[in-house]
């Protein structure tokens, strides 16, 4: 599948080529048969190896373009690109695209993950509706994120350079 990846902070990678398995096929084959009879589960909870977790509305999770990816641009996922498996949901912002995927659970209710709680992220996170956060309209978040993006990136780069220099000094 070729798809764009959108971060809630307004940057995007265009035309990424992902390979893997349809989440709907995996759900139909392995998850749904284990659900108790009469269950009214409306959400999937996806967990990462590092404890990160998100809840997805079942309708969003089972969209035809949602993949469990193990390859990016013709190559196996690297650790940098969140191997061995990651969720790719192009219609949702990146915070819903779980990296280092380790578990999929059915839920009857929506549970807010730590990152969503700390950032006040929108529970659905649909790109087409600019569902970036809770409490303010999406267009206002877009303006705020664009204003903060460059200073924040500069700060992270400065911290990374200082850390790299510290490692270099210790080796020498």
pLDDT, one tens digit for every residue, the chain (172 residues): 999 999 888 889 999 999 999 999 999 999 889 888 877 889 999 999 999 999 999 999 999 999 999 999 999 998 876 778 999 999 999 999 999 999 999 999 999 988 888 888 899 999 999 999 888 888 888 888 788 777 777 887 888 888 888 766 665 5
Q: Which CATH architecture has domain 2-134?
A: Alpha-Beta Complex (3.90)
Spatial separation of the C-alpha atoms in residues 47 and 57, rounded to whole Å: 15
Residue 39 CB neighbour total at 10 angstroms: 11
Pull the structure tokens for residue 5.
């990846």
Q: Within 51-137, where are the H helices?
A: 58-61, 114-119
Distance of alpha carbon 161 from alpha carbon 167, whole angstroms: 10
The separation between the first and the last C-alpha atoms of the chain, rounded to the nearest angstrom, is: 46
Write out the E strands in the chain: 2-6, 12-22, 43-48, 53-57, 67-72, 75-76, 86-88, 101-107
- Secondary structure class of 98 (helix, strand, coil): coil
pLDDT digit string (tens) for 48-71?
999 999 999 999 999 999 999 999
Judge contact between 98 and 47, C-beta under 8 A: yes
- Of 19, 17, 21, 37, nearest to 29 (Cα)? 21
Residues, the chain: 172
Spell out the domain ranges in the chain: 2-134, 136-172
């Amino acid at each position: 599948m070729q798809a764009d990846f959108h971060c809630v902070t307004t940057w995007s990678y265009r035309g990424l080529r992902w390979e893997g398995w349809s989440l709907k096929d995996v759900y139909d084959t392995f998850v749904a048969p284990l659900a108790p009879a009469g269950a009214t589960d409306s959400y999937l909870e996806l967990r990462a190896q590092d404890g990160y977790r998100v809840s997805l509305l079942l309708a969003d999770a089972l969209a035809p373009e949602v993949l469990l990816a193990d390859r990016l641009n013709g190559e196996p996922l690297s650790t940098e690109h969140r191997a061995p498996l990651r969720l790719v949901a192009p219609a949702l912002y990146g915070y819903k695209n779980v990296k280092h995927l380790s578990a999929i659970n059915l839920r009857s209710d929506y549970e807010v993950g730590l990152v969503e709680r700390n950032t006040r992220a929108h529970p659905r996170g649909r790109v087409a509706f600019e569902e970036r956060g809770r409490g303010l309209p999406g267009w206002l978040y877009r303006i705020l994120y664009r204003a903060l993006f460059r200073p924040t990136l500069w700060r992270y780069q400065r911290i990374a350079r200082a850390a790299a220099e510290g490692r270099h000094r210790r080796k020498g």
